[in-house]
Structure formats: C-alpha cells, structure tokens
Structure 1
Amino acid sequence: MTQKEFEERTGLKLTADNYTEVETCYMNTDLDKDAFCKLWMKNPAALKEIEQKTVLVRELYEERKCLENFLIEQAEKWSALDLREKAITMIGEREYLRRKLAKGYNLWELDKELLDEILRK
C-alpha cells in the first residue's frame, strides 16, 4: 500500500518517516488494505499484536520447513525408518516423495511402494 492510499483510507497525513512505520507494520500482516487501515484507526495496539503474531507464525513456518528437510536428510543419511515416518507425518506422502526426488535421493523400496500406491489412485 502506498502512503497516498493509506492517507486516503484513514484521512491522516503522515511524513515519509512516519509512513515507514505504517508500511512496515502493513507488510508484516496478512490483512488487506481496508481492514488494516480500519484497524489502524480503531485499535493500533491490536494491530501491533497482529503484526507480532504474524511475524512469529512466519518464523515458525520457516523453522518447521527446515526441520522437515532435516528429517528427510537424516533419514537418508542413516537409513532411519523412524525419521522417514516422522517426515511423512509432518508433510504428507506426496510432499515427502517430491522433496526426496528434488534432492536427488534414491527411492527406498518403501518409497517405491508408496509412489506406486499414490499413482494407482
């Protein structure tokens, strides 16, 4: 959202420096422009909390993605069925196979059976 759009929606006039705070907050939320501006006018403290929670959720999502990839890598490295199963539980069978193939890992016999089962559906 541009500064002009924000000002038109809220009736506020901001300096470029003050708008930087607004823009940062807006980009850190998943709210549409109208909802964001309405909340900015009504309850900026709630908006800051939404911003903090949204940033946290995004960070946790990225951490989880790294953990999922780590599980696949370690399962491959150690031929560990328990790590394979945990990865499948976290991301699903299709995504597990997709990521494994994307990494260039060989398919285990269990993976081949799983792929065959998925393709038969």
Structure 2
Amino acid sequence: MGRLFGLVGLILLSLILVPGIAQAHSASTFNVIIKQNDLQPGTTQIEYNDSIMWYNADSRENVTQRIVFDADGDGLYNGSADWDSGEIYQECTPPSNNSSSDCKESFTVWFNGTWGVGEYNYQA
C-alpha cells in the first residue's frame, strides 16, 4: 500500500513539475497583397486556425484579380474543396439606391481544420 501511495505521489509531482508540451496558438490573419506582377509576401507559414486575406493593390485601371485553388486537380475551380474568390477589385464604390454590389476588395480563407497541413499552390 505504501508503494502505491509513493507511486501516485511521484506521478502527481511529475505532473506539477513538468511543463505542458502543448502550447496554445492564438489565431492570426496574414495579409497578402496582390500587385501587378507578384504577391507580397510570396510565401506564408500558417498554423491551425490562422487565416489568409488577399488584397488587390494592382492600381492599373479596370484590372481585377482572382484567387483560385484547384484542390481536386480536375482543372476546374468549382469543386466543394476548391477556392474561387471571384473578382477582387482594387477599390469599390458604394452602390447607389440601396442596391447590392458584388464588389469586394479582399478574399479570406480560414484554415480551421478543413484545410490540413501542407503546401497550397494557388493562382492569382
């Protein structure tokens, strides 16, 4: 019986003295700026629960950008796991007469477990 209490005491003491292995990670949003000829930054390392937000900073007149990712490799961007931002504008003007507008200046993907660890080769 004394050995059992000694073993339990040793286990409890080790749990108190040994720091936790898992560390919490607060979610971060990484911004990627789409320019005329490149993306800045070119690569981003993210962790679970992070998100990436792409902004169109291409100042050429009447130029929109689009972010696409073909998860299933079929050459189309219409699968349930594919990304397609639609057109991303450099600047949106508010719609008149309370009408809705499809104009958007950014696109966000949240890596919340749907997207696993790996490399994502998307196109802009």
- Same-fold call, TM cutoff 0.5: no
| TM value normalised by structure 2 | 0.28
Higher relative CO (CA 8 A, sep ≥ 6), structure 1 or 2?
Answer: 2
* Pair member with larger Rg: 2
Q: Which has the higher helix share?
A: 1
TM-score by length of 1: 0.29
